[in-house]
Amino acid sequence: MSALNIKFHMDDYGTLWRAMKESPASMILIVYSFIFLWFVGGLTCFHLYLIGRNQTTYENFRYRGANRQNVYDRGCLRNFLEVFCTRNNFQAYVQEEMPVRITREVKIDDSEGDSRTKVQDNPEVDNDLLKISHRRDALEADRS
């Protein structure tokens, strides 16, 4: 659109230089768009190349000089069909895991200097206050 604006100014003022002086914002946008078009276009071409080879960016840079066979390469057409024409259910790959509860040792500042396991991190207790009090009583009875 900026180039079209410059063209309209050229029709009015006659030369490109006068049109650029009349609309400097259009020239700035043209230069800005040209630079970023090359940047985005270059990245697009590079990633299309990676899709054609069925590689990741890491594999491309890591194994560039190793002359290794890419076992996932199915040919350019099949690689593109795999990426753009298959339906992936990514949730099927993720299995729901049980949350892992970690038992930590906590140093208690008392005269004996012993350490005890935090009760709320123990999965056997399971937030039941009665079990907590019974466990504490049992631990004290074992110590004496």
Q: Which residues, 6+ apart, have CB-to-CB distance to 62 below 8 Å?
A: none
Q: What is the pLDDT of residue 46?
A: 95
In the chain, which residues have pLDDT < 50? 114, 125
Q: Is residue 84 part of a domain?
A: yes
Per the structure, the count of domains in the chain is 2
Q: Which domain does 11 fall in, by range?
A: 2-93
Q: How far is CA 123 from the centre of its chain?
A: 33
Q: Is residue 48 part of a domain?
A: yes
The rounded distance, in Å, linking the Cα atoms of 78 and 74 is 6
Regarding whether 124 and 59 lie in a shared domain, the answer is no
Regarding whether 39 and 71 lie in a shared domain, the answer is yes
Regarding whether 10 and 53 lie in a shared domain, the answer is yes
Give Cα separations from 47 to 9, 75, 80, 84, 114 (angstroms): 39, 16, 11, 13, 59
Q: Is residue 110 part of a domain?
A: yes
Q: What is the pLDDT of residue 102?
A: 60
Regarding whether 10 and 58 lie in a shared domain, the answer is yes
Q: Is residue 98 part of a domain?
A: no
Q: What is the pLDDT of residue 41?
A: 93
Regarding whether 13 and 60 lie in a shared domain, the answer is yes
Q: Is residue 100 part of a domain?
A: no
